[in-house]
Amino acid sequence: MNYHKYYPVDVVNGLGTRCTLFVSGCVHQCKGCYNQSTQRLDSGHPFTDELADRIIQDLSDTRIKRRGLSLSGGDPLHPANVGAILALVKRVKQSCPDKDIWCWSGYRLEELDEAQQALLPYLDVLIDGRFEQALADPSLLWRGSSNQVVHRLSQRARDTVSAP
Ligand code: SF4
């Protein structure tokens, strides 16, 4: 898997202060894509064990407390990314069980294949669906267009993230 950007401190992508990883690779080709440079799978830089270590360290940092990890892109659920993302979310939930994980994907929840569904038990929030320019609305929280859905997958998310 390749990634484009890693922000160790981010207050924009999800609730609270977070670590955010933008991965490479997306098949959806949405018109008006906010992040076109991430669409090619081979763009960006290789995601390494060192970066995974860094994410765990940042999530464990007690000086700047992070609420969790956000995964965006590109598409973290691109079939070529699923294996590396699954390994990462398993590690985060094992090493930092009090942190939540949010994921943005162009796939809709109901169209995920078996490999993509294997990630769901580790995600607290999934924001799904392609960006539809005709339905774009800058006032929406966490999503760009009104067709996209904020799924609160975990009990923690249902308890703490208000339904948009
Ligand atoms: S799903 Fe996201 S990254 Fe992929 S083309 Fe659509 S807007 Fe761009």
Ligand 1 proximity of 73 Cβ (cutoff 6 Å): yes
The whole-number mean pLDDT for each consecutive block of 10 residues of the chain, a chain of 164 residues, reads 98 97 97 92 97 98 97 97 98 98 98 98 98 96 96 96 80
Sort strands 2-10 and 45-46 into parallel, antiparallel or unpaired: antiparallel
For residue 40, the model assigns a pLDDT of: 95
Cα 103 from Cα 49, distance rounded (Å): 20
Residue 4: what residue type? H
Distance of CA 63 from the midpoint of ligand 1 (Å): 34
Rounded to whole angstroms, the Cα distance separating 122 from 41 reads 23
pLDDT at residue number 13 = 96
Beta carbons within 8 Å of 71's beta carbon, 6+ residues apart: 20, 21, 23, 85, 88, 89, 101, 102, 103, 104
- Which pLDDT score is estimated for 162? 84
Domain that holds residue 45: 2-160
128 lines ligand 1 (CB under 6 A): no
pTM of the complete model beyond 0.75: yes
Which neighbouring-strand residues pair with 69? 19, 101
CATH classification of the domain holding 93: 3.20.20.70
